[in-house]
Structure formats: structure tokens, C-alpha cells
């Protein structure tokens, strides 16, 4: 678990992920949270089925690098968004992140705080040397989050900007 000024970031277990996908507030009930009006995009549903759930179920992998980290607002006791790390560090020590804020909570700086929390956590992970992310070129809010967290644009495709943050894994005291 990671705590920031306004949020608690909680990595979800396999059973919690299954409840998350139901969107029936059973996860919120388990975590003693207020109900949310979250929905799951077709892309996220596919990611759950193809990648997230199988990887979290794989006991040979560290689930923290595959699960959804849900962000809980301390003030509202509600889930407000999520971040996912797309697998364990590769040979170069890179991890990739993807993230989203629920519609009603966008524009409040929560995602900047969530990504910042994962950066602090990542600096404590000995095998993580950098974090990469891709943003749709039209999603200015998403790349502002990365810029505010000192990511540098390292390339682009026709539709995406590619970003990277190098870790300097100094000991955090």
C-alpha cells in the first residue's frame, strides 16, 4: 500500500480484481468504501481477461507488477482512479504504467499524485531502473500528468507519445 497526501493506493488481489470487473460495488463493500459509479471500458475489460487476471494468478510472478492499484480518496472514502504496471521489470529494468481517473474526479490533480506515489514506490524496488508510458497524442491531460512527474518524451508513433522517467534509486529516508 502507498499513501500520498490525499490518497491511498491499494494493490488489488486476484479475488478483488474479479469483484472490480463486476462493477456491482462488491469490491467497495469489501474495502469498506463508499460506492462509486465506475465503469470498465472495453479496452480495460480485454486487458483484464488477456493480461491482468492471468498474470496476477501466476504465483511465479510478483503480482504488484501486474495488478491494478486502485486509488482511494481519503476525504471521500471512495475509489477515484487506477494505475496498472504492465508486468515485471524487463532486462533493462523498465516497467510500463497505464492509468485512468474516473470521470467525476478528473481535473483535480489526482492522477499526478497517483503516478508520483508509484514513482516513490518504484525507487524502493531494486530491479526498477525506469518507468515508461505511452499517451494518446490527443490526451493532453494524460501527458501533463507525466510532464509534472518529470517524464521525458522519448519518441512517438502516428497516434502516441512515448515517455520515460529514469530512476536514480537513492535510498529514501
pLDDT of residue 169: 52
| Residue 97, Cβ density class (10 Å: 0-12 exposed, 13-18 middle, ≥19 buried) | buried
3-state DSSP helix/strand/coil % of the chain, to nearest 5? 35, 30, 40
d(CA 95, CA 93): 7
Q: Is 172 part of any domain?
A: no
Q: Is 171 part of any domain?
A: no
What is the pLDDT tens value at each position of the chain, 173 positions in all?
999 999 999 999 999 999 999 999 999 999 999 998 888 888 888 989 999 999 999 999 999 999 999 999 999 999 999 999 999 999 999 999 999 999 999 999 999 999 999 999 999 999 999 999 999 999 999 999 999 999 999 999 999 999 999 997 554 44
- What range does the domain containing 11 cover? 2-166
Q: Is 143 part of any domain?
A: yes
Q: Is 173 part of any domain?
A: no
Model pTM? 0.92
Q: How many domains are there within the chain?
A: 1
d(CA 106, CA 89): 29
Q: Which CATH number fits the domain that encloses residue 116? A: 3.40.630.30
Amino acid at each position: 500500500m502507498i499513501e500520498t497526501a490525499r490518497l491511498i493506493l491499494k494493490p488489488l488481489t486476484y479475488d478483488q480484481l474479479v469483484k472490480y470487473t463486476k462493477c456491482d460495488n462488491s469490491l467497495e463493500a469489501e474495502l469498506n468504501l463508499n460506492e462509486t459509479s465506475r465503469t470498465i471500458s472495453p479496452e480495460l475489460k480485454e486487458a483484464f481477461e488477456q493480461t491482468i487476471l492471468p498474470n496476477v494468478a501466476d504465483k511465479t510472478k510478483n503480482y504488484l507488477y501486474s495488478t491494478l492499484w486502485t486509488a482511494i480518496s481519503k476525504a471521500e472514502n471512495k475509489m477515484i482512479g487506477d494505475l496498472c504496471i504492465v508486468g515485471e521489470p524487463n532486462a533493462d529494468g523498465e516497467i510500463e504504467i497505464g492509468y485512468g481517473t474516473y470521470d467525476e474526479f478528473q481535473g483535480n490533480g489526482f492522477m499526478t499524485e497517483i503516478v508520483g506515489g508509484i514513482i516513490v514506490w518504484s525507487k524502493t524496488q531494486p530491479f526498477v531502473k525506469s518507468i515508461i508510458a505511452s499517451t494518446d497524442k490527443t490526451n493532453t491531460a494524460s501527458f501533463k500528468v507525466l510532464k509534472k512527474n518529470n517524464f521525458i518524451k522519448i519518441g512517438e508513433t502516428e497516434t502516441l507519445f512515448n515517455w520515460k522517467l529514469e530512476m536514480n534509486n537513492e535510498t529514501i529516508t
